[in-house]
Structure 1
């Protein structure tokens, strides 16, 4: 007997959330790629993009939320929840907007836009929490790195989608 479609989808999304968490854990264990704080690849976002393209924005939101909450619980501090949520939610909103604007084409552009908005969200929270304008000095570096890493992550997601049924 086959499982109901809803059960299969829930199981698949749960597995994708676990993969995203594992990618986050692996990336957290790696040394920084550049000596500027806040710049990282964002490997877990590959899964967010895959879910957004293969399922829906709502499903991508839940996978993102589960990954952020579990990552904060297992690896982070309470304050990292604010940074992760602000960056992740802005990123997802931007990717959904680009996906709909471009009718599901150019996944890499959605990824690049999402990475830039992720950085904007995190810098915005840092500025709101610290009230120190000096944090804005990082913005040009973060935006440039967001374009580069967003392109890489978008290409990885496109490659991954080719091998999924």
Structure 2
């Protein structure tokens, strides 16, 4: 019996990768929507904790830069539409894009035990990008005075999201290896 392309191990691995990426994008979107519903008092208008960034960091370390970029873009664009906050899209795309570049650099240069540091650096990059967009859109350089507060809060929230991402990354590869081992043909 001839095998179909979907039954090839290469195609199957590719399909599994796409499915994992789609699931992570859906999870990131759900977390972003949930976070938009939380009425947390913040010192700067529009500030969020960045809970969905955990998923982007996990995607980058686990499935690679392309999946992390897809997760980020799906989350940013669909979250803006679903929450009715289209005016936040430029802030999300620029800030998140800078954070993604930092995350991908960390993935290429450091091991998963640096996920906390990665998240902290990404949070700082995100805040710098968002303040840059705010200054550019409003032509009000005084908005940059929020940056010190944003950087401190970004370091704290980056540490927290990085801690969660590191905990997940410790478990995900082991679960993936177990899944692969159970699917391997037995040699009995």
Given the two structures, how large is their TM-score scaled by the length of structure 1?
0.93
Q: Return 5+ residue gaps in structure 2 as ranges.
A: 1-5, 176-188
Segment of structure 1 superposing worse, 141-150 or 100-109:
100-109
- The residue that corresponds to 1:92 in the other structure is 100
Alpha-carbon distance, 1:80 to partner: 1.2
- The residue that corresponds to 2:79 in the other structure is 71
CA contact (8 A) 2:17 2:63 kept: no
- The residue that corresponds to 1:130 in the other structure is 138
Q: Return 5+ residue gaps in structure 1 as ranges.
A: none
- The residue that corresponds to 2:56 in the other structure is 48
- The residue that corresponds to 1:140 in the other structure is 148
CA contact (8 A) 1:96 1:110 kept: no
Alpha-carbon distance, 1:4 to partner: 1.6
Segment of structure 1 superposing worse, 35-44 or 127-136:
35-44
Instruction: Tell me the number of residue pairs that the alignment of Structure 1 and Structure 2 aligns.
Output: 165
2:169 is the alignment partner of 1:161: yes
Calculate the aligned-residue CA RMSD, in Å.
1.7
Given the alignment, which residue of 27, 39, 48 partners 2:35?
27
- The residue that corresponds to 1:110 in the other structure is 118
- The residue that corresponds to 2:184 in the other structure is none
Alpha-carbon distance, 1:6 to partner: 1.5
- The residue that corresponds to 1:9 in the other structure is 17
Given the alignment, which residue of 67, 90, 93 partners 1:82?
90
Alpha-carbon distance, 1:104 to partner: 4.5
CA contact (8 A) 1:86 1:118 kept: yes
Runs of 4+ in structure 1 displaced over 3 angstroms? none
Cα 1:153/1:78, change in 2 over 3 Å = same
CA contact (8 A) 1:33 1:39 kept: no
CA contact (8 A) 1:120 1:139 kept: yes
Cα 1:102/1:5, change in 2 over 3 Å = closer
